[in-house]
Amino acid sequence: MEKKARVLIDCDDEKGLVYKFSKVFFDRGLNIDSNREFVDKEKGKFFMRTVVTGDFNIKELEEELKKIIPSNAHLKVIEPKRKKIVILATKESHALGDILIRHEAGQLDADIEAVISNHDVLEQLVRRFDIPFFHVPTEGLSREEHEDYVAKLIDEQTFDYIVLAKYMRILTSSFVARYPEKIINIHHSFLPAFIGANPYKQAYERGVKIIGATAHFVTDDLDEGPIIAQDVIPVNHRFEWRDMQSAGRDVEKIVLSRALNFVLNDRVFVHGNKTIVF
Amino acid sequence: MEKKARVLIDCDDEKGLVYKFSKVFFDRGLNIDSNREFVDKEKGKFFMRTVVTGDFNIKELEEELKKIIPSNAHLKVIEPKRKKIVILATKESHALGDILIRHEAGQLDADIEAVISNHDVLEQLVRRFDIPFFHVPTEGLSREEHEDYVAKLIDEQTFDYIVLAKYMRILTSSFVARYPEKIINIHHSFLPAFIGANPYKQAYERGVKIIGATAHFVTDDLDEGPIIAQDVIPVNHRFEWRDMQSAGRDVEKIVLSRALNFVLNDRVFVHGNKTIVF
Amino acid sequence: MEKKARVLIDCDDEKGLVYKFSKVFFDRGLNIDSNREFVDKEKGKFFMRTVVTGDFNIKELEEELKKIIPSNAHLKVIEPKRKKIVILATKESHALGDILIRHEAGQLDADIEAVISNHDVLEQLVRRFDIPFFHVPTEGLSREEHEDYVAKLIDEQTFDYIVLAKYMRILTSSFVARYPEKIINIHHSFLPAFIGANPYKQAYERGVKIIGATAHFVTDDLDEGPIIAQDVIPVNHRFEWRDMQSAGRDVEKIVLSRALNFVLNDRVFVHGNKTIVF
Amino acid sequence: MEKKARVLIDCDDEKGLVYKFSKVFFDRGLNIDSNREFVDKEKGKFFMRTVVTGDFNIKELEEELKKIIPSNAHLKVIEPKRKKIVILATKESHALGDILIRHEAGQLDADIEAVISNHDVLEQLVRRFDIPFFHVPTEGLSREEHEDYVAKLIDEQTFDYIVLAKYMRILTSSFVARYPEKIINIHHSFLPAFIGANPYKQAYERGVKIIGATAHFVTDDLDEGPIIAQDVIPVNHRFEWRDMQSAGRDVEKIVLSRALNFVLNDRVFVHGNKTIVF
């Protein structure tokens, strides 16, 4: 029976990698639907994403590949299927709403398992879509206590990724450490410009002529995780900072959805503090 | 009591227009919040949009201005307030959904009075937002008969603009003639490229490296109305036409919402087959 | 001795192509520096560009590959080296000038063998750079006669590509047929919008909000050759058509140089009326 | 005799400014060709740029306007004419070359009086265009001594603006203070990202997906002067930092020339650390 798998390999670069991997596919009669490689020469790292189709057993293919990959390699053989996400949001609805509409239209390759928020502002919107909404107020809780509640809720879900759709709380290192390469954030600036609070106000004060947004994996280092996607729009002197914020919403939601799409299709490798997007 | 009005004037260009209009504002002690002018020298046309604030009566200001404007001038003195729109859609939800989310967030300067569709696919989405949805099937109806039903429904609403959010029916001249400068459409191509059916397939066949979308007023001449806003995104040989369509959705919805925002804020003059957007 | 070659293959798609080609590289101990493939599933076509390094003989590698490629395949094994170009221009200097400056800075991977023009306006500019300039006036010549002179001059040069840097003459089919996939043109519009004469005037009349430029291979079908690169810039109602033309110059020159760079680095496959750019 | 003047006014905002200024134009029978205003409400500042035509004496118009402007106002009445610039460069030719080509084509609204460089690399290029080139080596000189030589050369020229076309020396406060609002720089990053040395290397290390360039007036505060223009281009993981640098050159030169064009046409107001570009 015709099957499809995404094979993702990253390892130290050495001669013959493409040959060895393609030999495995060839020997099993698999078709290569698409194939992308990249070698970071400076770091001596090899990255490959191959989509194969044919009559095969995924477990067996994985075992076969394991035999030949270098010892320090990371290998994933993934059957393409809808993933599951949990969304964290606060009060703003544009990024969340964009995902909800895509989801409703069947254009998001993921199910939304739950939306968790530190406010109840977005509850009505989420409930309109019959998606579970959890309000975790912060009142009277330490940052750690609040995060424990949130983490508990997250862990009760089945999920592949956690999407911060304008979640306006800074996450602790220990929270981030629970979900390595699992948390995707949209930062409301063209990183690394305007790191920190209220980037639009910073942008306004600086008098920039372009503003942007950055989707990235969340790591311990605030606003410094591997960038997945970025985009920008022009502004001018007529924009007060709230106008920049308003204009910025369109970029934010589009960039987040674009990054999410890459991630859900297993097109992203994290490579140190960078990404490779095939 | 502090009031605000948007004054829009277009007329044949002549010496002293700015002076004469600003004198009226000055004599009444009004403050000019913002002021934009444009002269089309080729056509000898003058356009001005001034936002004034102060203690004044809108009717009286309009009368005063009427006394001094050239005889062929168009004058509008508009109190800024939420407008009302009716949306026409078909099956695709991205453009409609974007407007619904903005509306829900209070970020659309309009109330959505109703959504009318030739299919029932979007009914659930619209009802989620407690907005009236009317399904007008086309079965067994001539184009004119169908439009009569649609027009009847539209006319039962109070509305300032009709928004075609991916309404995939060609409108007759007589329908368009009922609503001059009232119908805003999003065309799924970078007009005037790829006029007509399935622009994404055309774009794919042509092998373009950029695709776009165009928001425009609808006139008798299909795909030829005054353009309000356009934007583009890069594509490449890896995009099949459905990928282009999918990528195009983001541009479509953003361009439509941007154009709608201009129109709802009375920032757009129609000037022959063009627009002036202040 | 360490050598480098670019291997370009296009052929009917079939199972095992990547394996077979990478086996040849592996068996000879070659390193794969970079590797890009694309399969046009609709047309059943396979495209690959691989850069290999190692100690090898280019002729031998080519022979080896020839043995295993499908019978209808196109194979090129290219040693990376500076190519040679002939430039045709008319009166405008921006696209030509951009190439001259890159050339002078050693940032163009080609030598400019000659500039040929139907006017003498650009002679001084070209001579400033000590590059041969040939003026072929059109007076008293039929289109064919004029082209014969131009072709004769071209054929006296050693060249890989002919670059039309705003050459404002329409080429005949027979001229184009002499240099298949050899002529690169910059078209002053975002094709396929505004085909034909004075696109900026057309764009102005149409009231577009974005203008662009298109670099493409020249084929028999005017303005319809395979697109290599495109880009755009925003305009607005304040732009008269000469302003659009002026703004357009920047896009034109950048797009032409970008396309030229792709071509000079053997990154472009022509595929029917499209290109694949790796 | 028909004359033209650009009237630039910035002052504290107050009621009736447009009226008062347009009255002066009206009373003298002047035509308003174009008129742009902006009010910074937060700071209470008014900016106006009006182009008037008619039969008038510039000195007299200026005197007339002086009588009615608020006491702290800045007023300029400028006759449109070619300005003069001095260019400082180092080794890279793309930004300089772009200006030279525009100049040669008569598309730069300025004469290039001289090019001054701390290296002699660009001498040949500049001499090709018959423009004076001055080499001021830094060897054996303190920063201040070197700047004194440069300043002396600059001051011997007649000039309106000093253009830093990739001049890779940090200027001292005292040098900058000599030429307030006279020095335009192109910074090879999308400020305020990657302030400081080798922005492309920084961008590469950070793994950004977009790089840009910023043209700004030079003030005492390095990389912090008022931004005139910015633009960006997409990059990806395949770009090593030298590729980013190479791609960045196109943005740099275009952004610098765009900013220069604004400045030469008196379209830029400096407003604290920002610009207003009409």
Domain boundary assignment for chain D: 3-78, 83-277
- Convert the pLDDT of each residue in C69-117 to its tens digit: 988 899 999 999 999 999 999 999 999 999 999 999 999 999 999 999 9
- Chain A hits for D228, CB-CB cut-off 8 Å, are 209
- Convert the pLDDT of each residue in A112-143 to its tens digit: 999 999 999 999 999 999 999 999 999 999 99
- Average pLDDT across chain C, whole number: 95
With cut-offs at 50, 70 and 90, classify the pLDDT of residue D123. Answer: very high
Q: D150 pLDDT exceeds 90? A: yes
- Chain A hits for D238, CB-CB cut-off 8 Å, are 38
Cβ-defined contact of C125 to D107 (cutoff 8 Å):
no
For A252-269, b where at least 16 C-beta lie within 10 A, e where not — what string? bbbbbbbbbbbbbbbbbb
Cβ-defined contact of B101 to A98 (cutoff 8 Å):
yes
Report chain B's terminal Cα–Cα distance, integer Å: 27
Cβ-defined contact of D19 to B19 (cutoff 8 Å):
yes
Residue in chain D closest to C91 (alpha carbons) equals D105
Residue C199 belongs to what H/E stretch?
Answer: helix C199-206
Residue in chain C closest to D232 (alpha carbons) equals C233
Residue A93 has its nearest CB partner, among B105, B257, B258, at B105
pLDDT of residue A222: 72
- Chain A hits for C17, CB-CB cut-off 8 Å, are 32
With cut-offs at 50, 70 and 90, classify the pLDDT of residue A221. Answer: confident
Query: From CA A11, how far away is CA A34, in angstroms rounded?
Result: 20
pLDDT of residue B194: 86
Mean pLDDT score, B261-276: 97
Cβ-defined contact of B104 to A94 (cutoff 8 Å):
no
Mean pLDDT score, A11-20: 94
Cβ-defined contact of C107 to D94 (cutoff 8 Å):
yes
How close B22 comes to chain D (CA, Å)?
A: 5
- Chain B hits for C216, CB-CB cut-off 8 Å, are none
> Which amino acid would we find at residue D185?
N
Cβ-defined contact of D97 to C105 (cutoff 8 Å):
yes
Query: From CA B53, how far away is CA B34, in angstroms rounded?
Result: 10
> Active-site residue among D10, D109, D223, D266?
D223
- Convert the pLDDT of each residue in B181-190 to its tens digit: 999 999 988 8
Q: What would the CATH number be for the domain defined by D83-277?
A: 3.40.50.170
- Convert the pLDDT of each residue in D260-275 to its tens digit: 999 999 999 999 999 9
Cβ-defined contact of D231 to A210 (cutoff 8 Å):
yes
Cβ-defined contact of B191 to C210 (cutoff 8 Å):
no
Query: From CA A194, how far away is CA B161, in angstroms rounded?
Result: 39
Collect contacts of C39-44 with beta carbons under 8 A, ≥24 apart. C39/A32, C39/A33, C39/A34, C39/C13, C40/B237, C40/C13, C40/C271, C41/A33, C41/B240, C41/C13, C42/B240, C43/C271, C43/C272, C44/C12, C44/C13
Residue in chain D closest to C233 (alpha carbons) equals D231
Mean pLDDT score, B76-99: 97
- Whether A223 is catalytic is yes
User: Which residues are within 8 A (CB) of B277 and not within 5 positions of it... i.e. 6 or more apart?
Assistant: B228, B229, B262, B267, B268, B269, C236, C237
Mean pLDDT score, A173-187: 96
pLDDT of residue D221: 81
Torsion of the alpha carbons at D267, B214, B87 and B148, rounded to the nearest 10: 120
ipTM for the predicted complex: 0.94
Q: C191 pLDDT exceeds 90? A: no
Cis ω on the peptide bond leading into residue B192 (within 30° of 0)?
yes
Cα-flanking dihedrals φ and ψ of residue C99, to 5°? -70, -40
Superfamily per CATH, domain C3-78: ACT domain (3.30.70.260)
Q: What percent of chain A has pLDDT over 70?
A: 100
With cut-offs at 50, 70 and 90, classify the pLDDT of residue A193. Answer: confident
- Convert the pLDDT of each residue in B136-148 to its tens digit: 999 999 999 999 9
- The total of other beta-carbon atoms located within 10 Å of residue B67's CB is 7
Cβ-defined contact of D36 to B33 (cutoff 8 Å):
no
How close D107 comes to chain C (CA, Å)?
A: 9
Cis ω on the peptide bond leading into residue A137 (within 30° of 0)?
no
- Chain D hits for B33, CB-CB cut-off 8 Å, are 39, 41
Query: From CA C192, how far away is CA C211, in angstroms rounded?
Result: 12
| Residue indicated by tokens 């990235």 | A216
| Residue indicated by tokens 């396309």 | C259
Residue C101 has its nearest CB partner, among D97, D254, D258, at D97
Q: Which residues of D touch A (CB under 8 A)?
A: 38, 40-42, 190-194, 205-210, 212, 226-232, 236-238, 240, 271, 273-277
**Contact (CB, 8 A) for D84 and D110:** yes
| Residue indicated by tokens 């911060």 | A164
- Chain C hits for A18, CB-CB cut-off 8 Å, are 18, 22, 25, 32, 35
- Chain C hits for A41, CB-CB cut-off 8 Å, are 33
Residue A241 belongs to what H/E stretch?
Answer: helix A241-264
Cα-flanking dihedrals φ and ψ of residue A238, to 5°? -75, -10
Cβ-defined contact of B39 to D19 (cutoff 8 Å):
no
Query: From CA B213, how far away is CA C191, in angstroms rounded?
Result: 15
Q: C10 pLDDT exceeds 80? A: yes
Cβ-defined contact of B104 to A98 (cutoff 8 Å):
no
How close B229 comes to chain A (CA, Å)?
A: 14
Residue D274 has its nearest CB partner, among A207, A231, A274, at A207
**Contact (CB, 8 A) for A231 and D210:** yes
User: Which residues are within 8 A (CB) of D262 and not within 5 positions of it... i.e. 6 or more apart?
Assistant: D228, D229, D268, D277
Q: B91 pLDDT exceeds 90? A: yes
Q: Among B104, B243, B261, pick the best mutation site for testing chain A contact (most A Cβ within 10 A).
A: B104
- The total of other beta-carbon atoms located within 10 Å of residue D270's CB is 18
Cβ-defined contact of A97 to B104 (cutoff 8 Å):
yes
For D107-119, b where at least 16 C-beta lie within 10 A, e where not — what string? ebbbebbbbbbbe
- The total of other beta-carbon atoms located within 10 Å of residue C216's CB is 26
**Contact (CB, 8 A) for D268 and D275:** yes
Query: From CA A168, how far away is CA C119, in angstroms rounded?
Result: 63
Mean pLDDT score, C105-133: 98
Q: A223 pLDDT exceeds 80? A: no
**Contact (CB, 8 A) for C217 and C184:** yes
Cβ-defined contact of A94 to B105 (cutoff 8 Å):
yes
With cut-offs at 50, 70 and 90, classify the pLDDT of residue A192. Answer: confident
pLDDT of residue B40: 95
Mean pLDDT score, C4-31: 96
pLDDT of residue B121: 98
- Average pLDDT across chain B, whole number: 95
Query: From CA B17, how far away is CA A73, in angstroms rounded?
Result: 74
Residue in chain A closest to C28 (alpha carbons) equals A16
CB burial of residue D2 (10 Å; 0-12, 13-18, 19+): exposed
How close C111 comes to chain B (CA, Å)?
A: 28
pLDDT of residue C62: 96
**Contact (CB, 8 A) for B182 and B161:** yes
With cut-offs at 50, 70 and 90, classify the pLDDT of residue C192. Answer: confident
Residue in chain C closest to D253 (alpha carbons) equals C250
Q: Among D9, D14, D18, D39, pick the best mutation site for testing chain B contact (most B Cβ within 10 A).
A: D18
Residue in chain A closest to C37 (alpha carbons) equals A35
Query: From CA C212, how far away is CA C193, in angstroms rounded?
Result: 9
- Chain A hits for B254, CB-CB cut-off 8 Å, are 250, 254
Residue B270 belongs to what H/E stretch?
Answer: strand B268-271
- Convert the pLDDT of each residue in D8-67 to its tens digit: 999 999 999 999 999 999 999 999 999 999 999 999 999 999 999 999 999 999 999 999
- Chain B hits for D35, CB-CB cut-off 8 Å, are 18, 37
Q: Among D250, D252, D261, pick the best mutation site for testing chain C contact (most C Cβ within 10 A).
A: D250
